[in-house]
């Protein structure tokens, strides 16, 4: 069965430090891959997505993610975190041609001054 694992329930980083959020998926083929962000009390907003092509994808708010087929990973990165990045981040996969998107359990990011 398809699954998405975000091994870190929460992460704390200092403002200005770099960030990497981990995501691993289990699926037979290369699915579509997404990262979403959810600010407190809000719905989810798309940060970036990977469908095919260049394995390093750029998203909004200075985020990027790299697809590594050999590791079944799609980690999210940002070189310098801002206090406004404090939120919950969800990795998700969608099997090509399908309807159902599978979400990870989320990683909550705390940013300290």
Partner 1 sequence: DVKVTQSSRYLVKRTGEKVFLECVQDMDHENMFWYRQDPGLGLRLIYFSYDVKMKEKGDIPEGYSVSREKKERFSLILESASTNQTSMYLCASAGQGETQYFGPGTRLLVL
Interface contacts to partner 1, rule CB under 8 A? 9, 32, 34, 36, 41-46, 49, 90, 94, 96-101, 103-106
CB atoms within 10 A of CB 111: 19
Find the shortest distance in angstroms from Cβ 28 to partner 1.
17
Let me know: does 27 contact 112? Beta carbons within 8 Å. Answer: no
How far apart CA 46 and CA 27 sit, in angstroms, is: 21
Chain-centroid distance of CA 105 in Å reads: 11
User: What gap in Å lies between CA 20 and CA 69, rounded to an integer?
Assistant: 18
Q: Which one, 12 or 39, has the nearer CB to partner 1?
A: 39
Residue 27 or 103 with smaller CB distance to partner 1: 103
Identity of the residue, 9 or 113, whose beta carbon is nearer to partner 1 in the bound complex: 9
User: Which CB sits closer to partner 1, 79 or 98?
Assistant: 98
Cα dihedral: 43, 45, 51, 52 (round 10): -160
Least distance to partner 1, CB of residue 99, Å = 6
Task: Tell the smallest beta-carbon distance from residue 14 to partner 1 (Å).
Answer: 25
- Residue 54 beta carbon to partner 1: minimum distance, rounded to whole angstroms: 18
């Amino acid at each position: 069965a398809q699954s998405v694992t975000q091994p870190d329930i929460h992460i704390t980083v200092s403002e200005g430090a770099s960030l990497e959020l981990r995501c691993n998926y289990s699926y037979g083929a290369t699915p579509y891959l997404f990262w979403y962000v959810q600010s407190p009390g809000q719905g989810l907003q798309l940060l970036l997505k990977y469908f095919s092509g260049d394995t390093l994808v750029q998203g909004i708010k200075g985020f990027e993610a790299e697809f590594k087929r050999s590791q079944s990973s799609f980690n999210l990165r940002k070189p310098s975190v801002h206090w406004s990045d404090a939120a919950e981040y969800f990795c998700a996969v969608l099997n090509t041609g399908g309807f159902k998107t599978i979400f990870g359990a989320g990683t909550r990011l705390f940013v300290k001054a």
